[in-house]
Amino acid sequence: MPRMYDFLLYGAGQLLTCSNPGKGPKRGKSLSDAGILNDGAIAVSEGTIVEIGTRGEVERAVGSTPVARTFDAGGRVVMPGWVDPHTHAVFSRYRADEYEARIRGEGYLDIERRGGGIKRTVREVRAMSEERLFEVSRRRLAKILEGGTTTIEIKSGYGLDLETELKMLRVIARLGKELPLDVVASFMGAHQKPQESAGADGYVRLVIDEMIPAVAREGLAEFVDVFCERGVFTLEETEAILAAASAHGLGLKIHADEITPQGGAELAARLGARSAEHLTKISPAGVDALASSDTIAVLLPGTTFGLASRDFAPAREMIDRGVAVALATDFNPGSAPSCSMPFAVAVACSQMRMTPAEAVNAATINAAFAVGRGGRIGSLEKGKQADVVVYDVEDYREIPSRPGANHAVVVVKAGAVAWERPAFETASEVGL
């Protein structure tokens, strides 16, 4: 028993543990079990959950040991902090005009061909100072924290030259040091081939021979991601880049089968990639490959929504076939400008027919495994980091069924309150 508890939370009407002890990510029927405890409580010491259970169980365990701070959830929903395993949160500015262009019928690739999309953001990020890029990104992440996201993966990929890619990765590293979020960095120099690249193979060689070694040498990323898509990087180029990443001790991710069924999911499974991401056009063979592998399918419903499309990833089929499914925002300046994990969960439920419990698990414990953190975060269990969010609702299903408002009122990161809505009780409907 610790000499003092740092934080004691009690009075959770529904305490969602999202636990799957020792079993890895949730699949199939287990994905529909959010591990709900009624009248739940949590005791935290040195940033770690040391007691969890009903209020009576935890209070008996704590006994007379001093507690630095107590919090009465007052019958509200308490759950793990969201883990967002796929974002492009470091960028220059939003491309709202392209949203209107898509509504008017212009396609994603049409916008790219006329110099918009990724190309436009690349030009802007290259021109920005590192300090300004950090500051605009810092403000975004502060807002993200207020929504209950406590861990976020951020990809580079708006540089497409060595100097700017390293600038982005330094900004990502600094965000993780200066903000109360865990930040996971992925190098994505293979986001697109820049307009100035020399020949079909020139940029691929630059990524393999210069960029990946420099990123690994400076310890600026955990993963390497490649946009495997027609007109971007072929299967063969993707495999070559990821082979170089693996040789330098970096984990593997693939933007796979987003616009056309290229076989990216099958490649991700064969290479033992941590995740295959997007998957709106995944083939039946790709679903089978992921189901029989440890590769996690990271689905991005907010992207389809932002693209004014109806092509959502076949989440229902994947879950029923045993794929380990996670959810993410794909937060970026163009195709997915929403940074809200609750919004991603809401769209996954309404448009992809995931149940609320499946979506919550996919956005917490499974998302944690998608960034290599499943043993430490993503669920509320003894021995795990105390990343906890209190939502001003009585039933967790209100989070996806009542989108458009931020229902989070308290965000706890590693046992410390990182954000709290002032005087939230005065406007609360809970318990009335």
pLDDT single digits (tens) 347-392: 999 999 999 999 999 999 999 999 999 999 999 999 999 999 999 9
Could you report the per-residue pLDDT of 137-174, keeping only the tens digit for each? 999 999 999 999 999 999 999 999 999 999 999 999 99
**387, 413 contact by CB (below 8 A):** yes
pLDDT on residue 102: 86
pLDDT at residue 424 above 70?
A: yes
Is residue 2 a contact partner of residue 68, using CB atoms and an 8 Å limit? no
- The length of the chain is 432
Report residue 52's pLDDT band, with 50, 70 and 90 as the boundaries: very high
Query: For residue 278, what pLDDT band results from cuts at 50, 70 and 90?
Result: very high
- Across the chain, mean pLDDT equals 96
Question: DSSP secondary structure string, 134-166?
Answer: HHHHHHHHHHHHHTTEEEEEEE--S--SHHHHH
233: CB partners within 8 A, 6+ apart: 190, 193, 204, 226, 227, 241
Q: Over 80: is that where the pLDDT of 199 sits?
A: no
| Domains of the chain, start order | 5-81+379-427 (2.30.40.10), 83-370 (3.20.20.140)
Q: What does the angle CA 40 – CA 325 – CA 242 come to, to the nearest 5 degrees?
A: 130
Calculate the CA dihedral of residues 410, 132, 253, 334 and round it to 10 degrees.
80
The 10s digit of each residue's pLDDT in 307-320 is 889 999 999 999 99
Distance CA 365, CA 24 (A): 9
The rounded distance, in Å, linking the Cα atoms of 376 and 415 is: 13
As a whole number of angstroms, the distance between CA 42 and CA 352 comes to: 33
The single residue listed with the structure tokens 């079990």 is: 33
Q: What's the average model confidence in pLDDT over 98-125?
A: 86
The confidence score (pLDDT) of residue 105 equals 84
Dump pLDDT digits (tens) for 53-80: 999 999 999 999 999 999 999 999 999 9
Q: Is residue 94 predicted with pLDDT exceeding 80?
A: yes
Query: What is the predicted pLDDT for the residue at 110?
Result: 79
Instruction: For residue 240, give the 3-state DSSP assignment.
Output: helix
Q: Does the pLDDT of residue 198 top 60, yes or no? A: no
Residue type at 341 in one-letter notation: M
